[in-house]
């Protein structure tokens, strides 16, 4: 139960596919307007093309966030927007067959057709036909990569619908994602997502060097990707496990806290915030294990990522939390959050009696892990 910093109703990466830069496109359209306008279609003016492009871009934006609280209405709204978008794209390509925006709007159309199929709970038949048509031509590396990505999504759907087991689907997804990551790592629409997935897969398999290769590709081709920081944390965690853990600070009460001097104790270090719902939910469990095992050698240390000290202190008083807390008001920019690569809360580190970091993922088995380390 983590709350990451940073969705689309259909599970698509937000703002990823197409990436339509409206101003740049309109400049290009203006340069090509004489070529694209047809003598027998006087209504197809550059202004018409600009209006279509603007509307197509608008329809890819997620609706207001408060709509997420009403799932049925949200799905209906998104479905309507996606259907309108595909209709506008078809109109654009029919009226302006030479538009320089062809590749971009086709990328939009593939995304929307998948969203429509998902929201309607129907097979992605139209998407499959469009992908096959694109790949049968000479789409260029960028459009070929995007079409290959959506072909992969269609293939996964068909394999699942055919009754493939979960084990077969997992293997199929790994194979498909590896192909996309190797062939199209630079793709602006999905490259960072695919590379991020393969980094996680290779880390889980213990193939650290291959994971690093993908990570370097991610940083090279997608230097602004929001995946870089959390994945950097994944590598740090792999290297930090089974090594001495050091954490030193002055807590809210002015007391010195030094985990390296807590030898002989099991120490739970929690990065958390009072605005984080999963963190608040976990408070009773933390108090339970603290009260039960503190006299047996358990210590808890909190690293808080709130902004307002008054809010934090009020929360601590209201919930009678006794263990020491670090606070600097810098939230995600806190030096400790950066040092320990914390990109989601709650994050819990469990340190054994020898001061060795033993776990960074104890949610769901916190008490059993604590009792195991206390018994060592």
Statement to judge: residues 180 and 252 lie in one domain:
no
Is residue 231's pLDDT more than 80?
yes
Closest CA to 279 of 229, 250, 315, 252: 315
Of the ranges 14-28, 175-189, 347-361, which one carries the lowest mean pLDDT score? Answer: 14-28
- pLDDT > 70 fraction of the chain, expressed in percent and rounded: 87
- pLDDT > 90 fraction of the chain, expressed in percent and rounded: 75
Inside any domain, residue 226: no
361's enclosing H/E stretch is: none
What CATH code is carried by the domain that includes residue 317?
A: 3.40.30.10
181 phi/psi in degrees, rounded to 5: -65, -35
Is residue 114's pLDDT more than 80?
yes
Last residue of a domain, one of 143, 165, 188: 188
Cα–Cα distance measured from residue 137 to residue 340, given in angstroms and rounded to the nearest whole number: 49
Q: pLDDT digit string (tens) for 119-128?
A: 999 999 999 9
Is residue 9's pLDDT more than 80?
no
Cα–Cα distance measured from residue 312 to residue 272, given in angstroms and rounded to the nearest whole number: 11
Structural domain that includes position 355: 248-374
Is residue 22's pLDDT more than 60?
no
Q: What is the pLDDT of residue 204?
A: 85
Q: Mean of the pLDDT values across residues 206-220? A: 94
Inside any domain, residue 86: yes
CB 244 within 8 Å of CB 352: no
Statement to judge: residues 153 and 290 lie in one domain:
no
User: Any idea what DSSP says for residue 207?
Assistant: -
Q: Mean of the pLDDT values across residues 221-234? A: 91
Q: What is the pLDDT of residue 2?
A: 38
Before 292, cis peptide (omega within 30)?
Answer: no
Q: pLDDT digit string (tens) for 332-342?
A: 999 999 999 89
Q: Mean of the pLDDT values across residues 234-243? A: 86
What is the number of H-type helices and E-type strands within the chain? Answer: 14, 9
Inside any domain, residue 231: no
Is residue 216's pLDDT more than 80?
yes
Indicate the number of domains in the chain: 2
CB 308 within 8 Å of CB 329: yes
Statement to judge: residues 172 and 254 lie in one domain:
no
Inside any domain, residue 237: no
Q: What is the pLDDT of residue 236?
A: 85
Inside any domain, residue 206: no
Inside any domain, residue 212: no
Statement to judge: residues 127 and 254 lie in one domain:
no
Q: What is the pLDDT of residue 155?
A: 97
pLDDT tier, 65 (very low <50, low <70, confident <90, very high otherwise): low
Is residue 362's pLDDT more than 60?
yes
pLDDT tier, 370 (very low <50, low <70, confident <90, very high otherwise): very high
269 phi/psi in degrees, rounded to 5: -105, 120
- CB pairs under 8 A, 24+ apart, for 58-66? 59/84, 59/85, 59/88, 60/18, 60/20, 60/85, 60/108, 60/111, 60/112, 62/8, 62/14
Statement to judge: residues 353 and 259 lie in one domain:
yes
Between 12 and 363, the higher pLDDT residue: 363
pLDDT tier, 19 (very low <50, low <70, confident <90, very high otherwise): very low
Q: Is the pTM of this model over 0.75?
A: no
Q: What is the pLDDT of residue 43?
A: 60
Statement to judge: residues 162 and 264 lie in one domain:
no
Of the ranges 42-46, 143-147, 274-278, which one carries the lowest mean pLDDT score? Answer: 42-46
3-state secondary structure of 10: coil
Statement to judge: residues 256 and 168 lie in one domain:
no
Max avg pLDDT among 11-25, 102-116, 234-248: 102-116
Q: What is the pLDDT of residue 301?
A: 98
Statement to judge: residues 180 and 319 lie in one domain:
no
Inside any domain, residue 111: yes
Inside any domain, residue 285: yes
């Amino acid at each position: 139960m983590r709350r990451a910093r940073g969705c689309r109703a259909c599970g698509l990466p937000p703002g990823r596919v197409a990436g339509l830069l409206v101003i740049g496109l309109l400049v290009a359209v203006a340069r090509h307007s004489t070529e694209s306008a047809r003598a027998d279609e006087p209504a197809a003016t550059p202004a018409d093309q600009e209006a279509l492009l603007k509307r197509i871009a608008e329809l890819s934006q997620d609706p207001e966030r408060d709509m997420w609280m009403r799932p049925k209405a949200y799905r209906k709204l998104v479905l309507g927007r996606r259907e309108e978008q595909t209709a506008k794209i078809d109109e654009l390509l029919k009226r302006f067959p030479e538009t320089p925006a062809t590749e971009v709007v086709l990328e939009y159309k593939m995304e929307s057709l998948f969203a429509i199929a998902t929201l309607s709970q129907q097979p992605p038949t139209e998407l499959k036909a469009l992908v096959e048509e694109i790949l049968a031509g000479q789409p260029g590396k960028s459009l070929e990569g995007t079409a290959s990505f959506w072909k992969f999504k269609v293939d996964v759907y068909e394999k699942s619908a055919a009754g493939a087991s979960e084990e077969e689907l997992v293997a199929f997804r790994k194979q498909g994602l590896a192909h996309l990551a190797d062939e199209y790592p630079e793709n602006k629409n999905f490259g960072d997502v695919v590379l991020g997935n393969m980094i996680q897969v290779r880390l889980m398999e213990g193939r650290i060097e291959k994971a690093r290769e993908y990570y370097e590709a991610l940083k090279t081709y997608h230097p602004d990707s929001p995946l870089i920081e959390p994945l950097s944390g994944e590598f740090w965690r792999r290297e930090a496990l089974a090594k001495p853990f050091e954490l030193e600070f002055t807590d809210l009460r002015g007391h010195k806290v030094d985990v390296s001097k807590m030898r002989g104790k099991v120490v739970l270090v929690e990065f958390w915030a009072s605005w984080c719902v999963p963190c608040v939910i976990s408070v009773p469990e933390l108090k339970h294990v603290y009260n039960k095992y503190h006299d047996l050698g358990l210590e808890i240390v909190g690293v808080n990522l709130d902004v307002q000290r008054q809010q934090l202190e009020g929360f601590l008083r209201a919930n009678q939390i006794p263990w020491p807390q670090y606070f600097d008001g810098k939230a995600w920019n806190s030096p400790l959050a950066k040092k320990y690569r914390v990109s989601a809360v709650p994050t819990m580190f469990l340190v054994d009696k020898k001061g060795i970091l033993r776990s960074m993922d104890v949610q769901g088995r916190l008490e059993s892990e604590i009792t195991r380390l206390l018994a060592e």
